[in-house]
Chains A and B, each alone.
Chain A
């Protein structure tokens, strides 16, 4: 009997500590038909874990993107006309003209468009100069920008963890589960890796362990994760070892250790780990300076990865590489949720802001645009719709940066930030909320229309964004009820 089949038959026959739910004949035959594609966790999770998604429900993919370090909204999602805000001592000073000489792309843009603002024809959204390809074509039709988002903190870890979980952290300690973990759990942890996290934190507080984020640092890590290292054991030896690990006979030490279900969790995770390395899935992430297959070559072209070896390696290590990793993982139905960093180390308090910040944001937004376009161009094998039609996206940062320059020509931390929401269930081509002219502070909004108000209204927080996003895709948000989230009904499509 093959090793994987033995695991499954044992999973269905062993009492007490076994992974429940045996393999249905239909599912087994499907797996045989898909060749090397490994089994999914859904075969081994109890029915209670599959809450909102029945076996035949449409797949939902969630992509969480972060610009790590605090992004400047004047360059990105809440810009101002550079020709109108020229006072260096003023409250709001975009200073595009000070940055442009340091970047060829910015310089070219500003010379033909002195305002620095990007507003595609038909778009209700005005973007800042750094958004690059995100402002091209009709991508705007899918995007919803939320401005004047009150982060409530100027501490990196707090802002980051707040937006990860939708709950205000306890001090520096994250509270609750990451949104991607929640989404993976709601989706029944259907895929081989329900929740992939690249280079950032992830949290699971009380949800099924199968939904926990699998954290890798880079594309080479995920190759390592999907490939058994070293010399494999013979099939029969694997089978004998798996039989030994099962809780049969006098295994009182298992009983002692299983008080909080850790042994059960351990054995379930072992089953998933074994399945994860079967099949040649690591080859999907063989991102080298020379793509080895036509499929990988097409992927590189879609994400504009090319040039010298040094340039390619830099691109692979940055936002483009992580976006490409997410695209490959989603379009091969390996993951349900992917959390990636589109930019890192953008906490530019000093004059490196003038030389570096635009480029960092530009690279990240270009990668984001390429990711959306790629998902739009790929058809899901079972539904016939594009992967984008099954995806929902959230783009955030720790917080924003001050609207004026400090005395070192950099920008410090600022409370009123923005975020970007797009995809399934989200009404695109709109801006929700805004910031005032007095001090670039958050303005309250009308929750029904999303319009910013001169006074009063509701100041949007990360909790509200989380709840509204989940509501828009038809998922519950009970886990953040203690944050008293308000639903921004303007966010909802239809």
Chain B
């Protein structure tokens, strides 16, 4: 009988002899038997039959998380758009020589919890008191900047907040609701299917406009609208839906 080795033209003669010798030795150890040893495998646990019907396993969602400082830093310019000079709008705080991006490490980044990987190696990313305090500061800083840019743009398509409504609109409900739906999508990434889902935003806008009109009756519609949209913007930035996912 020719062995496999004999058919390999590249194998040297001494390799063929060694392989053959090994095979003969193994055969001799088994007393001439060619039966391979059986492996005994003990079952670890009871398994299910192959044709077992589907098993109902309750679905569990992952834990809700808060935006990390890095995510916040990246997200803000995307949401806030650009100013009239084309620069990305973001949250800034006062620094020695002007202003500085607030989420930078040399501003509030570490205070907000960004790890430095020296003494702090873990970002808790919980919606805690400190974070909420600074998000209030952030919203009141960023929203006026967005509105400054919007009120300097005549084309609605180029505006960030007031994309589907006029700058002085406080009464065209349809346009207001369309804009609310747009903002709901822009800030939360969530498409609304009915006006009911943006009813609370409409209420916020209308309440602030009415209160402003009452306190300063001489205010024009553009001023009233701006006050309302500022409140809407701050509300959106402060909503759990913005910071949790």
Contact = CB atoms under 8 A, between A and B. Distances in A.
* A and B are interacting partners: yes
Interface of A: 68, 157, 172-174, 193, 199-201, 204, 209-210, 212, 214-217, 221, 224-225, 228-233, 236-237, 240-241, 243-245, 248-254, 257-260, 262-263, 265-267, 269-270, 272-274, 276-277
B134 to A, nearest CB: 8
B241 A232 contact: no
5 contacts: A204-B126, A229-B140, A241-B235, A250-B196, A266-B244
B64 A260 contact: yes
B240 A254 contact: yes
Given A241-B235, A249-B196, A201 B120 contact: yes
Given A244-B200, A267-B240, A214 B129 contact: yes
B238 to A, nearest CB: 6
Nearest to B244: A257
Interface stretch (B46-54, B76-84, B155-163, B203-211): B203-211
A253 B241 contact: yes
A445 B209 CA distance: 73
A216 B111 contact: yes
Nearest to B234: A241
Given A215-B130, A230-B140, A266-B132, A244 B240 contact: no
Given A215-B111, A265-B127, A253 B190 contact: yes
B66 A221 contact: no
A265 B211 CA distance: 30
Contact of B133 (A210, A245, A251, A276): A276
A252 B130 CA distance: 26
B221 interface: no
B240 A263 contact: yes
Nearest to B63: A260
Interface string B70-91: 0000000000000000000000
A245 B127 contact: no
A230 B126 contact: no
A257 B241 contact: yes
Best-surrounded residue of B136, B141, B208 (most CB of chain A within 10 A):
B136
B128 interface: yes
A241 B132 CA distance: 14
B64 A215 contact: no
A201 B121 CA distance: 9
A249 B200 contact: yes
Given A225-B133, A231-B140, A241 B196 contact: no
B86 to A, nearest CB: 24
B226 interface: no
A251 B121 contact: no
Best-surrounded residue of A230, A245, A254 (most CB of chain B within 10 A):
A230
A266 B133 contact: no
A476 to B, nearest CB: 24
A240 B207 contact: yes
A263 to B, nearest CB: 5
A266 B111 contact: no
B28 interface: no
Contacts of B121: 157, 172, 201
B241 A68 contact: no
B132 A237 contact: no
Given A209-B128, A243-B204, A266 B140 contact: no
A334 to B, nearest CB: 13
Contacts of A269: 127-129, 131-132
Given A212-B124, A259-B63, 5 more contacts: A237-B227, A244-B201, A245-B238, A250-B197, A257-B245
B126 A254 contact: no
A259 B108 CA distance: 30
Given A201-B122, A253-B241, A217 B110 contact: yes
Given A201-B122, A212-B126, A236 B133 contact: no
Given A240-B211, A251-B200, A266 B243 contact: yes
Nearest to A262: B64
Contacts of A267: 240
B4 interface: no
Nearest to A222: B111
B181 to A, nearest CB: 13
A231 B121 CA distance: 34
A336 to B, nearest CB: 14
B128 A214 contact: yes
B133 A265 contact: no
Closest 5 CB pairs of A and B: A273-B132, A273-B133, A266-B127, A229-B137, A262-B64
